[in-house]
C-alpha cells in the first residue's frame, strides 16, 4: 500500500512509523510546517526535524518537509482571531485537522497516496460498506473530538495505527525500539505557538482593551480585565479576584464588560441546553429515517467522559437544541458539540454552539 505518514517529532507519530514498518509497509514521511515564522516558537521545529530525520534514516523512509504556513494562518488562525474578537471560543485544532492536515495536505501531496497515517488516538469502523470515525482504546487520550469536522472522503483515507493502543503501550513500544523521543513530553495547547503563551499571542495580535469585571447578580464592579478576548465562558483562572471561586458567565462585547458569578445561582455557571448551528455529519446522518427528538451522547469539550441528552429540532426555524441530562459547566458559544453513539463507539459529527 502507498502510505503517507504525518510525523511531528513526537512519540505518537514515531510509533506510527515503527508499526507501519513492522506491518511490511514503507511509508513516505511528511513533516508539515505551520508554525510562527522568524524563529519565535515554531513548535520547537528544529528539534522536531532532527528527530524525524533520524526516524527516516532508521527505518529507511523518504522524508519530505512541506510548508502550509500561509494556508494555516489564512484559514485557521484568521478563523480563531475572528472568533475571539466576536467574544466566541474557537477551536483551531479542530480546524487544523479539517483544513490543513486532511485538507490542503491531502489535496497537494496526499492525493498521490492510498492512505494517510497519523498519530491521532482514534479508530475507524466499517459498517455496511461505509467508514465511520470511532473512538480510541485509550479513553483519556481519545482525540475524536478534534476530528469532528472532517468529511467522509477524509475519514475514508486516514489510518490510525496507534488508535487501538493505550498511551503507556505506545511509550513502551518506543522504549523497546530505542526511539529518541520515547520519553518526550506530549505537546500541550495549540501547537503552532511553540513556547509562546496563548495570552501573549492574543496580546500581540489584538492588543489590550481594559474593561470592567462585574458581578452578574449584584452589578458590583469587582476589578478590571485587559480585554474580553482573554476570557471565555466557564473560565475560573486568571481573573485576579479574591474571595473566589469566580467564574466567567457572560460578556458584553460592545461595552467590553466581563460578567462573573461567585455561585449565588449555579444556573449562571451551568446550563442544560446547547443551541446548535446546524449539524455536520462525517459519514452519514444516522437519524435521517428517524424523527427527532433522539437520545445522543456528546462532548462539548475534549474530555474522557461523555454527556448524554436529547437532540431536537424546531420544525419552524429548523434550529437544533441539545438538552443535556445533567448540568454542563461553562457552555461557551463558538465551542463544538461532537455527537457520538457510545454503544457502537462511533463519532457521528459535530455542530457549533451558538448564543441563541
Residue positions annotated with a catalytic role: 96, 191
Return the C-alpha cell found at 94: 479542530
CA 11/CA 284 separation, integer angstroms: 33
pLDDT value, residue 40 = 46
339-349: per-residue pLDDT in tens? 999 999 999 99
pLDDT value, residue 190 = 55
CA 333/CA 325 separation, integer angstroms: 19
pLDDT value, residue 287 = 93
**Contacts for 336 with CB less than 8 Å, ≥ 6 apart:** 91, 94, 145, 148, 149, 300, 350, 351, 352, 353
| Low-confidence spans in the chain with pLDDT less than 70 | 35-44, 188-196, 265-266
265-282: per-residue pLDDT in tens? 667 778 999 999 989 999
280 vs 85, 148, 349, CA distance in Å? Answer: 24, 8, 5
Cβ(71)–Cβ(104) below 8 Å: yes
- Classify residue 187 by burial, with Cβ atoms within 10 Å: 0-12, 13-18, 19+: middle
As a whole number, the mean pLDDT across the chain is 92
50-70: per-residue pLDDT in tens? 999 999 999 999 999 999 999
Amino acid at each position: 500500500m502507498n502510505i503517507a505518514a504525518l510525523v511531528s517529532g513526537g512519540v505518537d507519530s514515531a510509533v506510527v512509523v515503527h508499526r507501519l514498518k513492522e506491518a511490511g509497509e514503507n511509508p513516505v514521511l511528511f513533516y508539515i510546517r505551520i508554525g510562527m515564522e522568524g524563529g519565535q516558537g515554531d513548535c520547537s521545529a528544529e528539534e522536531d526535524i532532527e528527530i524525524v530525520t533520524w526516524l527516516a534514516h532508521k527505518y529507511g523512509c523518504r522524508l519530505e518537509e512541506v510548508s502550509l504556513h500561509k494556508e494555516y494562518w489564512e484559514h485557521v488562525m484568521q478563523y480563531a482571531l475572528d472568533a475571539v474578537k466576536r467574544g466566541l471560543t474557537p477551536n483551531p485544532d479542530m480546524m487544523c485537522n479539517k483544513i490543513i492536515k486532511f485538507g490542503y495536505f491531502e489535496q497537494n501531496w496526499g492525493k498521490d497516496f492510498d492512505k494517510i497515517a497519523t498519530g491521532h488516538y482514534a479508530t475507524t469502523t466499517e459498517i455496511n460498506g461505509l467508514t465511520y470515525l470511532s473512538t480510541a482504546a485509550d479513553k483519556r487520550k481519545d482525540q475524536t473530538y478534534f476530528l469532528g469536522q472532517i468529511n467522509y472522503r477524509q475519514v475514508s483515507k486516514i489510518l490510525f495505527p496507534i488508535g487501538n493502543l493505550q498511551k503507556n503501550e505506545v511509550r513502551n513500544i518506543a522504549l523497546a525500539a530505542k526511539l529518541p523521543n520515547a520519553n518526550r513530553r506530549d505537546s500541550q495547547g495549540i501547537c503552532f505557538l511553540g513556547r509562546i503563551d496563548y495570552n501573549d499571542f492574543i496580546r500581540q495580535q489584538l492588543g489590550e482593551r481594559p474593561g470592567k469585571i462585574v458581578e452578574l447578580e449584584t452589578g458590583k464592579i469587582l476589578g478590571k480585565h485587559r480585554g474580553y478576548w482573554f476570557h471565555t465562558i466557564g473560565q475560573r483562572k486568571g481573573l485576579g479576584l479574591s474571595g473566589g471561586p469566580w467564574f466567567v458567565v457572560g460578556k458584553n462585547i460592545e461595552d467590553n464588560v466581563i460578567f462573573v458569578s461567585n455561585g449565588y445561582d449555579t444556573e449562571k455557571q451551568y446550563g442544560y441546553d446547547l443551541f446548535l448551528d446546524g449539524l455536520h455529519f462525517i459519514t452519514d446522518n444516522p437519524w435521517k429515517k428517524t424523527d427527532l427528538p433522539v437520545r445522543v451522547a456528546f462532548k462539548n469539550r475534549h474530555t474522557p467522559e461523555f454527556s448524554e441528552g436529547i437532540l431536537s429540532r424546531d420544525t419552524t426555524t429548523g434550529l437544533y437544541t441539545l438538552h443535556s441530562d445533567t448540568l454542563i459547566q461553562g457552555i461557551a458559544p463558538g465551542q463544538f458539540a461532537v455527537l457520538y453513539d457510545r454503544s457502537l463507539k462511533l463519532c457521528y459529527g459535530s455542530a457549533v454552539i451558538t448564543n441563541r
